[in-house]
Amino acid sequence: MSRIAQRFAQLTQAKRKALIPYITAGDPDLQTTEALLHALVESGCDILEIGVPFSDPMADGPAIQRAGERALKQHIGLVDILSMVQRFRLRDTATPIVLMGYANPIEAMGQKNFVLAAQTAGVDGVLVVDYPPEECEEFTALCRAHAVDPIFLLAPTSTDARIAAVAKQGSGYLYYVSLKGVTGVKAVDASEVALHLPKLRAASPLPIAVGFGIRDAASARAIAQVADAVVIGSRIITEIEQSPKGEEVARVKAFVRPIREALDQ
């Protein structure tokens, strides 16, 4: 069983919902990112999404765009990020790690080289925003062959046929984009999400994570009523951005704890 499947099995047994934070690798620097990942686990996060910075992040709002720009100023690339994941794994062999980003850094490294390196480093899942399943069949097969879960997005605009097709290709979990828009700009509408999720449930036995527009304990709790996992990205990145240098870990811990508590209530 993959680490992601194992984690969801444990959570189901404990009747808990997964909290999935997203942070950009290298924001403000890779060392802090590594410290933040451990801190997020200590604060009750279940799966970690690590953003791979890209020069042209078409699906991201201003907060994640700026995080990527900060990381790219230091020329952080996939190789650096995979080494960091490898270091993280020395201390934590249980928490699933998902890399999230755009196709071109992977294409530049070569799909096969990337998947092999990701597996070696201890990456459990990969979500490539601009790889819809029909454009990355070989990549998906490579991921499956090397025990890396290919995770795909579904959106409010996805048709039933599309949901069925995408659900078949994905593993690990399905990531439902809660709204029509980019990351971190609009606020999520939990009742809208609740209307769409039954279609996903009918199409797939995979756990469903919901992201985009979840920014506090209340919205996280509302989403957790209907989803298996809640993803929070831009708001955590804003905490990092606004934090005095060296206090990022404390700030992020303080932000995440009440959200964990709200999910467990």
- 18-57 residues in contact with another protein (CB under 8 A) are 54-57
Tell me whether strands 229-232 and 125-128 are parallel, antiparallel or unpaired. Answer: unpaired
Token couple for 183:
């990351």
Token couple for 10:
């444990």
Token couple for 180:
């029509």
For 156-159, the CB contacts below 8 A with 24+ separation are: 156/180, 156/192, 156/196
Residue nearer to another protein on the CB measure, 40 or 81: 81
For residue 60, indicate whether it is catalytic: yes
Kindly state whether residue 155 participates in binding another protein, applying the rule CB under 8 A: yes
Place of tokens 């490898």: 86
Q: What kind and span of H or E run contains 13?
A: helix 3-13
Kindly state whether residue 220 participates in binding another protein, applying the rule CB under 8 A: no
Active-site annotation holder among 27, 46, 60, 124? 60
Q: Does residue 28 have a cis peptide bond before it, meaning omega lies within 30 degrees of 0? A: yes
Residue nearer to another protein on the CB measure, 139 or 255: 139
Kindly state whether residue 166 participates in binding another protein, applying the rule CB under 8 A: yes
Residue among 16, 89, 146, 162 that touches another protein (CB under 8 A): 162
How far apart are CB 34 and another protein at their closest, in Å?
A: 19
For residue 135, indicate whether it is catalytic: no
Q: Residue type at 15?
A: K
**What does the binding site for another protein look like in residue numbers (CB under 8 A)?**
54-59, 61-62, 65, 69, 72, 75, 77-79, 102-109, 129-132, 134-135, 152-159, 162, 166, 177, 180-182, 185-186
